[in-house]
Each structure stands twice: as C-alpha cells, then as structure tokens.
C-alpha cells in the first residue's frame, strides 16, 4: 500500500539558511500534518491542512510556513534556521472514515543545522 513519502531524508544546513521539506500524503487522504520530533521526545504538532486549507496551528515558529498544493503535496518552509531547529520532521496524513481518523507517518526528514 502507498505510504506517506517525504523528501529529502537528510538535510544539512547552516544557521540563517532556509530549508524546504516536501511531503506526499497517502492518496485520497484529506488531511496533512507536520510534526517536529527532538531526540527522546514525542512528536510536536506544527501545522495541519484539510483539503489544502490550513486547519490547525500548533507550536510552529513564525520563521516557518507551510502550504498544501493542488496535487495535495505539502511543503514546510523554514527560514533563518537556528541550531535548535535540528530535529526529525515528520509529515503525516489521515482520512476520516467510519472507524474514525488515524495518522499515518512518513519516515521523516532529519534536519541538521550547523
């Protein structure tokens, strides 16, 4: 079965640079989420989109922005990178059906800021 696809898998940037992370959700899933996970931490919700419209906002810094495109893929744009932005960034998608809603995660992008 198709899964959530993220690219790139690894990214190394310097402080104050910008980064763009991409996510391709599972086909027909209507909601996309972005999460940030630090070492030994649970995923922290950043932002979500429902049918290409921003639906919820979590602890996303103002330096970050995201959007979902007409083909449902999503991009997380990160500017003025700081050392503390080094983390795993996960995209997840979900579809509400008769059983409810459950998240399916990609394998993440590991961002290292030096």
Partner 1 sequence: QKEVEQDPGPLSVPEGAIVSLNCTYSNSAFQYFMWYRQYSRKGPELLMYTYSSGNKEDGRFTAQVDKSSKYISLFIRDSQPSDSATYLCAMSAPTGNQFYFGTGTSLTVIP
Q: Distance between CA 110 and CA 43 in Å, rounded?
A: 13
Which stretch in 13-21, 41-49, 59-67, 69-77 sits in contact with partner 1 by CB under 8 A? 41-49
Q: How does DSSP classify residue 26? A: P
| 25 lines the binding site for partner 1 (CB under 8 A) | no
| 62 lines the binding site for partner 1 (CB under 8 A) | no
Pick 79 or 105: Cβ nearer partner 1: 105
- How many residues bind partner 1 (CB under 8 A)? The answer is 29
Residues 11, 19, 26, 33: which binds partner 1 (CB under 8 A)? Answer: 33
Which stretch in 21-29, 47-55, 64-72, 75-83 sits in contact with partner 1 by CB under 8 A? 47-55
59 CB-contact burial (10 Å; exposed 0-12 / middle 13-18 / buried 19+):
exposed
């Amino acid at each position: 079965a198709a899964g959530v696809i993220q690219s790139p898998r690894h990214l190394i940037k310097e402080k104050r640079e910008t980064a763009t992370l991409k996510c391709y959700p599972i086909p027909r899933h209507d909601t996309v989420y972005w999460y940030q996970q630090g070492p030994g931490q649970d995923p922290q919700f950043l932002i979500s989109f429902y049918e290409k419209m921003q639906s919820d906002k979590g602890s996303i810094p103002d330096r970050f922005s995201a959007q979902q495109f007409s083909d449902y893929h999503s991009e997380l744009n990160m500017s003025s990178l700081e050392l503390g932005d080094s983390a795993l960034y996960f995209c997840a998608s979900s579809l509400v059906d008769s059983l409810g809603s459950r998240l399916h995660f990609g394998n993440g992008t590991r961002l290292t800021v030096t």
